[in-house]
Amino acid sequence: MTRHVPGSVRWLRTALGAVAVLLLVLGFGAVPAQAGTWSPQTSTLPAVIIGTTDCPTSTDCIQEQNNGKFQSTSDGGATWTMSTADLTDSTWGMDCPSTTACFVTGDNGNIYKSTNMGSTWTTVSTGTPALYGIACPSTLICYAGSGDGRIRKTVDGGSTWTLGTTQAPEGFYSISCPSTTVCYADTAPGAVYKKQAGSDTWDQVATDPAMPDILSPYTHSLSCPSLTVCYTGGTDGTISKTTDGGSTWVQQTTATTPDIYALQCASTTRCIAVGVAQKSEFTDDGGATWTTETTGSAAAMYSVTWQSSNKALSGDAIGDTYQYLAPGLPNGSTNVSETLVAGTLSFINSTPGSITFPSTTLSSADQTKTQTLPIDVADATGSGTGWAITATSTTFTSGARTLPTNATNVLSAPTIACDAGVTC
């Protein structure tokens, strides 16, 4: 039997329409923003440097002293409880990716883990050299910087650790990881190194003379809120920033600003830096301007972290804790809401036209013929449920012989594109 099988249809393209968003702009006069404020909290720690403060949630926070003592809060800092599980090691860095996973580095090369916000600690890694900064972008993955420029790493939540080869001639004092595969670290003289995705090699992306000095393992002044944006502060009072993943750095402040011992960013534009007593630096415009504010601290601050987008916690050199409330909306501003109504799923311009398959010479074998048909579909439903294209045809006949309507089908999935002049 000789049969002529009609061709499958290969769809060229589709376009994904975007739900229109109405932008409302309300004009107000030039009203100055409110000032940020610092307030002391009731600390339970002795008069020793609080080297690290971390908040895995907006209410659950923990502070670490360099003598191995800890205090935690579950109410955002209103009340603190000092842990009875002291470490005998001099501790330098801490990171808590969750309330059940906190990691601390020690001067003797140990790494400790707590699953209960510091109430108890377990030694999960031992060895040399001394370890300083640590960053845990997830509960499974952590990178700890050593005093000889190597990185100790875990990918299983601290069960096993590997010590890499020397990456820098100086020790890594501060590490920031915007993802599980991309990290930045700074050294004592101020050079910055970057770990590239898919590799454990750390490449130097900023030279010492161009960067602020990082002179002490007490400092934690590197913060990278995104894969490409990082800020670093130095004990010479300068702050530098990169927006291209470390290729170029721009000095935003000079040595006329207070010395920086700790710096943290809540976003790519909102950051706070602390250092010498009574002084902090705050930016809400990506570092274009930094505002010096009074902390009320009697001693230098060595740690700071954001609890939420508008609150931060800090610890100073004599065991005292302070909370920062960032500036709010300018006076006269208001919140504006807009309800978006779902659109439709439809063809753009017109429904698909007719298809003419190429002329076919019958043979003794089955044949498949294809023909292209441009089709433009807009999905403005906003549902995210997706859509599908199916094809059918009229009955193909040749004398008394027929082919079913499903002999025509879609050969390949549509591709998503954006029509010219449309933002998708």
- Model pLDDT, residue 298: 93
- Which of 21-35, 138-152, 338-352, 389-403 has the lowest average pLDDT? 21-35
- Which of 173-177, 323-327, 394-398 has the lowest average pLDDT? 394-398
Task: Give the CA dihedral 220, 225, 231, 234, nearest 10 degrees.
Answer: -10
Higher-pLDDT residue of 95, 238: 95
Give the E-state strand segments of 22-149 in sequence order: 37-41, 50-54, 61-65, 70-73, 81-82, 91-98, 101-106, 111-114, 122-125, 131-135, 142-146
Mean pLDDT of 312-328: 95
SS3 category, 405: helix
Residues 311/332, Cβ–Cβ less than 8 Å:
no
Distance CA 223, CA 265 (A): 6
DSSP state of 5: P
- Model pLDDT, residue 197: 82
Q: Average per-residue pLDDT in the chain?
A: 84
Could you report the per-residue pLDDT of 153-169, keeping only the tens digit for each?
A: 999 999 999 999 989 88
What residues have CB less than 8 Å from 316, skipping those under 6 apart? 49, 50, 277, 297, 298, 299, 300, 301, 302, 322
What residues have CB less than 8 Å from 133, skipping those under 6 apart? 92, 93, 105, 144, 145, 172, 173, 174, 175, 185, 220, 222
Distance CA 334, CA 189 (A): 46
- Model pLDDT, residue 27: 38
Could you report the per-residue pLDDT of 165-208, keeping only the tens digit for each?
A: 989 888 899 999 999 999 999 988 888 999 988 788 999 998 86
SS3 category, 208: helix
Distance CA 224, CA 291 (A): 20
Is the pLDDT assigned to residue 145 strictly greater than 80?
A: yes
Higher-pLDDT residue of 348, 200: 200
Could you report the per-residue pLDDT of 5-47, keeping only the tens digit for each?
A: 333 333 333 333 333 333 333 333 334 445 799 999 999 999 9
pTM over 0.85: no
Q: How confident is the model at residue 117 (pLDDT cuts 50, 70, 90)?
A: very high
